[in-house]
Amino acid sequence: MKWTRTPPTLPGFYYWQGGHLTGLEVAMVQVTAFKDETKPLEACELRQEGYANAPERGTVASWGGRWSGPLPQPY
């Protein structure tokens, strides 16, 4: 996997770096799609207390930063 500045277009779990994260900080983010496909994908950081500088929840496009994923599911 590689980093990209293109926001995710599919639901799944992603690594994210951006905002005010520093150094090697990487957030784990779940990207969710809605049944109503007119709604944009939504991202939510998964760390229980979250990073103080990462968005809590919002549209994928509003997060900016770098993305890597989606992470493959184990089998």
Q: pLDDT tens for residues 46-60?
A: 776 655 556 667 899
Residue of 75, 71, 73 whose CA lies nearest to 26: 71
What is the C-alpha separation between 53 and 18, in angstroms, rounded? 9
Q: pLDDT tens for residues 57-75?
A: 789 988 889 999 999 988 8
When the pLDDT of each residue in the chain is averaged and rounded to a whole number, the result is 84
> Percentages helix, strand, coil for the chain, rounded to the nearest 5?
5, 30, 65
